[in-house]
Amino acid sequence: MIMSNTAENKNEKKIRLKVYRENRGQDSGSHYDTFEVPYKKWTTVLDALLYVKSYMDPSVAIRYSCRMASCGSCGMKINGIPKLACYTKISELETSTIECEPLPNFPIIRDLVTDFSRFFDHHKSMHPYIEAKESSVDDTRKGTFSFYQSPEDVDKYLQFSYCIKCGLCYSACPTVGTDVNFPGPQALAQQYRYFADTRDESAKRLDIVDDRHGIWRCHFAGSCSKVCPKGVDPALGIQLLKSYMLGISKNDKVPAKKIEVESIDNRYNSSAKTE
Ligand code: SF4
Ligand code: FES
């Protein structure tokens, strides 16, 4: 059955939204519901789903927050391809029916909402932070350092730091689909991000991914890089890491020079005096 809002203007353009429905908490199986939703040139798939929730069926479960491709919450499969719903305009899909399904490779919670626990566990297992002996900041905020990095140093990891952890690459990865212990493209690309950062002094980064279920399971399908909405190339990060592990690339990272700065409190005090 197609559900539509009869109070709408008949001249409006409408799109058919076919939405996957399933509730993990109820053993009632899955089905699709179809809604007819008015849209304009700038209407996104997320806007259309929110229209459905407001005027047609409030029980449709979706997850979103920023509505500007920054938080990574609204990932779903749209016409078969993992995309951010808030970053996908209906007019650009050039189709009369849009199919919205939950992201593959993630357990379903309800409808289009999936469970990211395993994905975030893999991310955390990579130690996704700078590990440096003298980088901790004590209570008095003394002993704070600045690290000098040249533009070339920053270029090595910058694109990987744009990751918003939306999970689209993880859902597109065929290896993740067959091995849940494989960390996936997002986590491995983050490992490269910190490995390449001249502020990081960890000697364990390559060991973390050198595991039976680790980096060697990547067969370079490349689908992760194709679906990334932020221009990150996880497949590249993985191949770069592999090349260091195989000795093809030499790790000639020169640790960033530390420059001691005045404590933040001192800087605040001196600026207050000059005002
Ligand atoms: S690498 Fe791209 S697709 Fe993968 S989680 Fe990060 S932003 Fe999303
Ligand atoms: S709602 Fe934040 S990325 Fe789409």
Atom of ligand 1 at shortest distance to CA of 172?
3
Structure confidence at residue 139 (pLDDT): 46
The more confidently predicted of residues 176 and 252 is 176
Query: CA dist 183 to 124, 195, 199, 223, Å?
Result: 10, 16, 24, 15
Per-residue burial over 183-218, b if 16 or more Cβ lie within 10 Å, else e, is bbbbbbbbbbbbbbbbbbebeebbebbeeeebbebb
> Which pLDDT belongs to residue 269?
60
Q: Report the alpha-carbon distance of residue 234 to residue 190 in Å, rounded.
A: 8
End-to-end CA distance of the chain: 69
Residue pLDDT, tens place only, 133-166: 765 555 455 666 788 899 999 999 999 999 999 9
Cα 232 to Cα 158: distance, rounded to the nearest angstrom? 9
The minimum-distance atom of ligand 2 relative to the CA of 87 is 4
Q: What is the domain partition of the chain in residue ranges?
A: 2-114, 117-258
Residue 7 reports pLDDT greater than 60: no
The predicted model gives 196-212 an average pLDDT of 95
193 lines ligand 1 (CB under 6 A): no
Mean pLDDT of the chain: 91
CATH 1.10.1060.10 fits 117-258, yes or no: yes
What is the CA angle 21-25-28, rounded to 5?
Answer: 55
2-114: CATH number: 3.10.20.30
Answer yes or no: is pLDDT of 49 > 50.
Answer: yes
Which residue would you say has higher pLDDT here, 262 or 59?
Answer: 59
Quick: pLDDT tens for 162-198.
Answer: 999 999 999 999 999 999 999 999 999 999 999 999 9
Measured in Å, residue 229 CA sits from the centre of ligand 1 at 7
Strand ranges (E), the chain = 2-4, 14-22, 30-38, 75-78, 81-84, 97-101, 108-110, 113-114, 145-148, 257-260
pLDDT at 47 over 70: yes
What is the residue type of 223?
A: S
Residue 236 has pLDDT above 50, yes or no: yes
Q: How large is the average pLDDT for residues 231-260?
A: 91
- Binned at pLDDT 50, 70 and 90, residue 27 comes out as confident
Query: Which tokens in the block code for residue 191?
Result: 């490992």
- For residue 6, pLDDT over 90 is answered with no
The pTM for the full model equals 0.90
Tell me the pLDDT band of 21, cut-offs 50, 70 and 90: very high
Question: What pLDDT score does 252 carry?
Answer: 82
pLDDT of 275 above 90: no
pLDDT recorded at residue 116: 98
State how far the Cα of 242 lies from the Cα of 91, in Å rounded to an integer.
Answer: 41
pLDDT score at 141? 56
pLDDT score recorded for residue 219: 93
To test the pocket of ligand 1, the residue of 122, 123, 165, 233 to mutate (highest count of ligand atoms within 8 Å of its CB) is 165
Nearest residue by C-alpha to atom 3 in ligand 1: 228
Cβ neighbour number for residue 229 with a 10 Å cutoff: 19
> What is the per-residue pLDDT across 98-110, written as a single tens digit (0 to 9) for each?
999 999 999 999 9
Secondary structure (H, E, C), 137-192: CCCCCCCCEEEECCHHHHHHHHHHHHCCCCCHHHHHCHHHHHCCCCCHHHHHHHHH
Residue nearest to atom 4 of ligand 1 (CA): 169
Residues whose CB falls within 8 Å of the CB of residue 213, separated by 6 or more in sequence, listed in order: 179, 181, 182, 183
Chain mean position to CA 109: 19
Residue 12's pLDDT is what?
A: 84
What's the confidence (pLDDT) of residue 8?
Answer: 56
Q: List residues near ligand 2 (CB under 6 A).
A: 64-67, 69-74, 84, 86
